[in-house]
Structures are given as C-alpha cells and as structure tokens.
Amino acid sequence: MKSLLLLFATMGLMALASCTGTKPVKTIENLKAGIKGETTASAKYAAFAQKAKSEGNDAIAKLFEAASKAESIHAANHSKALAGLGEKMDPFTPVFEVKSTAENLQNAIDGESYEVNTMYPQFAADAKAEKAGNALKSITWAWDTERKHKQFYENALEALKTNTQNTLPLGYAVCPVCGNTYDKANMDKKCAFCQTSQDKFILF
C-alpha cells in the first residue's frame, strides 16, 4: 500500500514537471511584450490621426485610424493566445508623444520597422521552437500586417514631403479577424491572411 502511494506521488510529480517543462516561457513573455507594443501603437495612432486631421491631412488621418484599429485587433489576438497558455497581462498605461504629422509618420515607420525586422521574426522563431501554434498564428498575422503598414506609412511620408497627398488611398479596409489592412480601392475578395470575407471588413 505504502509503495503504491509512493508510486502515485512520484507519477504526480513527474506529470507536474513535464507540464512546467513544456510551458512556452519565451512565447509567454513575447506575447506580453507584443500586447504592450500593439496596445501602445493603437492608442498612439489614434492620437496621430487626430493631429493629422487638425493639420488638414485627412488622407493620412484615415491611415492612422485604420492602423489603430488593426493594432487593437493584434493586441486582442495576442491576449487570446496568452489566455490559452493560462496567463494574463498586468494592466499598464501606454506612453507616447504626439508631434507634427511628419514626425509622427517617421515615428510610425520606425516602430513598424522594428516589429517587421526584429521583434516579430524573433517571436515567430520562439513560438515555432516552443510549438505554440496559436501564438504563432497571432504573431504571423501581426507580422504580415505591419509589413503593409510600414509601406503605407512610407508612402504617406513621401506624399507629405512632396505635397502629393492626392495620390494616397482615399480610404482603408481592416480585416476584423487578423487586422490585415488594405487600400479600400484594392481589396481581396477574401482576406489574404485569414480568408475572412471582404463584406466583414471594417472601412475607414
């Protein structure tokens, strides 16, 4: 009887050890950093949109509004993935500065570049190594979207500098599932990242 109890106790400890051993610790930290980054970007772009509007840069304001929505979708997807791993985020306050629209666009380009070239490649590699499938999906959706945001922002800054804002998209569409962002005049019938139908897209 005693040895049977010992056996059960040992098995219990082994099961616990294997559980904690497989916990994707890097991915959990990465998702938390991602939620902070996306939530901050969403709030910052909303403020940048207001600033652009006040300067009469309506086309650029629309881009900031659409991107703000996309980043909030990324934050929500990362939060779901984090919850699926049994973790949650501590509350925090986004910190950012609003400057001129040209400076705000450069700030946005720098932020997107960091996410595209440094942050999300590392997060994706960690999620793959830790076999965190849901996290990898959320990370990939955000990574692919930020690449498009970076290009939209670069075009917008160029147009602002050359006073050719009339060449910018008149509006944008955001996929409510993955945050993918389109020039409204050039959407796919189904989201290229997650296959959500175009009629569900949020328009700006």
- Chain residues in the site for Fe ion (CB under 5 A): 146, 149, 175, 177-178, 180, 191, 193-194, 196
Residue that has been written with the tokens 């949020």 in this structure = 202
Closer to Fe ion by CB, 50 or 87: give it.
Answer: 50
Closer to Fe ion by CB, 51 or 149: give it.
Answer: 149
Q: How far apart are CA 111 and CA 146, in angstroms?
A: 9
Q: How far apart are CA 95 and CA 5, in angstroms?
A: 54
Q: What minimum distance in Å lies between the beta carbon of 169 and Fe ion?
A: 16
82, 25 contact by CB (below 8 A): no
In three-state secondary structure terms, 181 is: strand
Q: What minimum distance in Å lies between the beta carbon of 165 and Fe ion?
A: 20
Closer to Fe ion by CB, 55 or 114: give it.
Answer: 114
Closer to Fe ion by CB, 77 or 180: give it.
Answer: 180
Structure tokens at 128: 């793959």
The Cβ of residue 14 has, within 10 Å, a number of other Cβ atoms equal to 10
Q: What minimum distance in Å lies between the beta carbon of 118 and Fe ion?
A: 14
Q: What minimum distance in Å lies between the beta carbon of 149 and Fe ion?
A: 3
